[in-house]
Amino acid sequence: MKKEAVKVRELNPSERIKNFDEVVLGYTEEEALIEANRCLQCPNPICQFGCPVGINIKEFISWITKKDYRAAYFILREKNDFPSICGRVCPAEYQCRRACVLTKKTASFASEQAINIHFLERFVGDYGVKNNLEAPAGKDQKFVKFGFKVAVVGSGPAGLACAGELARQGVKVDIFESLHKPGGVLRYGIPPFRMPRDVLDYEINELKKLGVQLIPNFIVGKVKALDELFSEGYSAIFLGLGAGVPSFLEIKGENLGNVYSANEFLTRVNLMLADKFPQFHTPINIGKQVLVVGGGNTALDAARAALRLQIINGFSPNTTILYRRTEVEMPARRLEIEHAKEEGIKIEFLVQPVEFIGDEEGKVQKLRCLRCRLGEPDESGRRRPVAVEGSDFGIDCDIAIIAVGLQANQVLTNVTSELKTDKYKDVIVNPQTMETSIKGVFAGGDIVGGEGTVIEAMGMAKKAAFSIINYLKDERT
């Protein structure tokens, strides 16, 4: 048996930085078969415990080895509505791959030997897309007869997954989305070089085929309140509001011109076509030196998008990430860190920003920083960065992007006093049912428990959808 996992094909770094094309090309059938055959088919497949939604990993891999990709697809679909999306964005090295028996248990993330479960998932998910495979509609189509309709607020992975589950059971679903396009972070946050838009559009179109109606440019809480949706005949409501409010460094000079939050920067590029300015009317003011502050997926996405924009706009690539800790503590996916380095993005570790300094026009010109060392672990278990006195230094920049965390979207919760939230403004739910403090209102995804992952959001939404079905059944009797 091949010892190391089959490497996935990728675009060459010097070419891919000139555009936003997808970087990872995925496995061919031959590669998928070699990788699937490396799986030991463990009697106790512990990889499954590493998957937040408990996919039967052993079984779907086993179907690949038998070349029955259809059967593999439906095993995946039992737990995951969008395998071609998750196969691209899941941080598998912290989840199923890390749990795989082939990973040495001392590692904090998966080793090279662990089965590339996510690339196999993507292979099978893409097979499903290419062959138009759709999970069968549920048996309880009686819901059609009863005319129940459910409102889903938010069209991120949580909203889409909940809508899909309900629609397959014959429930009429309307999704209300505040932005002009659906997909949540999958569209406005994650750039197309990681999440190709045709894959996302395909999944959304499948929902439309099931009768799900998408209502864009509709902010629930501003255009209509939850009460009004109920009085318009919705029997239940699912909230997939997400966490889209950026945190800031809270340092001097942060409101200078050309200092962006990563969310604003990525939204301008991904959703408002800033990369095509002036053909489209969203400027981004990309410059010679870009600084990105943070160490998560958002920081990596912003940096890789900025570097591409520099090249597209005729600048030499010069993008630097500043992170307070070291590479080991970086929460971003390992693959993204590797890709960023290959693309020529510099990463300065153990650096703490102190003050932005502007020019006479009020635009950012420099970031003053301190060097750090690692101290004792904090509540998250990661070693805390401690600033080193007298280690002051400055870095020039024409634009700075802050990617240091996200908080709950609060437009709706702020105007709905009966909806209980915690100190972070996340919606409180009964973890068994995902029901909120308002009867008939359920929630899931990043609005519950804060910024998480795509698969966690979908997992919560699926659980909420099952509770909504039970709730509707009770309503029917």
What is the distance, to the nearest Å, from the Cα of residue 219 to the centroid of all Cα atoms in its chain?
Answer: 21
Residue 122 CB, nearest approach to ligand SF4 (Å):
15
Residues 93-122 within binding reach of ligand FAD (CB under 6 A): none
Residue 174 CB, nearest approach to ligand FAD (Å):
11
Find the DSSP H helices in 184-296: 185-188, 197-209, 226-231, 262-270
Tokens of 104: 């040495």
Residue 91 CB, nearest approach to ligand SF4 (Å):
16
DSSP class per residue in 306-336:
HHHHHHHTTPPP-EEEE-SS-GGG--S-HHH
Residue 46 CB, nearest approach to ligand SF4 (Å):
5
Residue 337 CB, nearest approach to ligand SF4 (Å):
23
Q: Which stretch binds ligand FAD (CB under 6 A): 2-10, 71-79, 152-160, 366-374?
A: 152-160
Residue 452: phi and psi, rounded to 5, are: -135, -135
Handedness of CA 221, 238, 162, 240 (dihedral sign): positive
Q: Which does 409 bind (CB under 5 to 8 A by kind): ligand SF4, ligand FAD, none?
A: ligand FAD
Residue 106 CB, nearest approach to ligand SF4 (Å):
17
Q: How far is Cα 262 from Cα 266, in angstroms, rounded to an integer?
A: 6
CB neighbours (10 Å) of residue 178?
A: 20
Q: How far is Cα 409 from Cα 407, in angstroms, rounded to an integer?
A: 7
Find the DSSP H helices in 66-146: 69-79, 83-89, 96-99, 117-130, 142-146
Q: Which is nearer to ligand SF4, 41 or 285 (CB)?
A: 41
Q: How far is Cα 124 from Cα 61, in angstroms, rounded to an integer?
A: 9
Q: How far is Cα 368 from Cα 253, in angstroms, rounded to an integer?
A: 10
Closest by Cα among 151, 153, 155, 149 to 221: 153
Q: How far is Cα 372 from Cα 390, in angstroms, rounded to an integer?
A: 11
Among 319, 409, 416, 436, binds ligand FAD (CB under 6 A): 409
Residue 35: phi and psi, rounded to 5, are: -65, -45
Q: Which stretch binds ligand SF4 (CB under 6 A): 38-46, 137-145, 164-172, 175-183?
A: 38-46
Q: Does 286 bind ligand FAD (CB under 6 A)?
A: no
Among 457, 464, 468, 469, binds ligand FAD (CB under 6 A): 457
Residue 277 CB, nearest approach to ligand FAD (Å):
21
Q: Does 100 bind ligand SF4 (CB under 6 A)?
A: yes
Among 50, 156, 353, 385, binds ligand FAD (CB under 6 A): 156
Specify the pairing of strand 172-176 against strand 149-153. parallel
Kindly state the helix (H) or strand (E) to which residue 402 belongs, with its residue range: strand 399-402
Query: From residue 416 to residue 455, what is the string marking binding to ligand SF4 with x (rule CB under 6 A)?
Result: ----------------------------------------
Among 115, 195, 241, 447, binds ligand SF4 (CB under 6 A): 115
Q: Which is nearer to ligand FAD, 298 or 365 (CB)?
A: 298
Closest by Cα among 245, 280, 243, 274 to 399: 274
Among 220, 229, 249, 387, binds ligand FAD (CB under 6 A): 220
Closest by Cα among 155, 19, 3, 227 to 11: 19
Q: Does 107 bind ligand SF4 (CB under 6 A)?
A: no
Residue 395: phi and psi, rounded to 5, are: -125, 130
Shortest-Cβ-distance residue relative to ligand SF4 = 47
Q: Which is nearer to ligand FAD, 240 or 287 (CB)?
A: 240
Cβ atoms of 3 and 79 within 8 Å: the answer is: no
Q: Which does 177 bind (CB under 5 to 8 A by kind): ligand SF4, ligand FAD, none?
A: ligand FAD
Q: Which is nearer to ligand FAD, 83 or 244 (CB)?
A: 244
Given its phi and psi angles, is residue 305 left (phi above 0), alpha (psi -120 to 50 degrees) or beta?
A: alpha
Q: Rule CB under 6 A: which residues touch ligand SF4?
A: 39-42, 45-47, 57-58, 100-102, 115, 117
Binding site for ligand FAD (CB under 6 A): 89-91, 153-159, 176-179, 184-185, 189-190, 219-221, 240-242, 244, 266, 297-298, 301, 333, 409, 411-412, 445-447, 452-455, 457
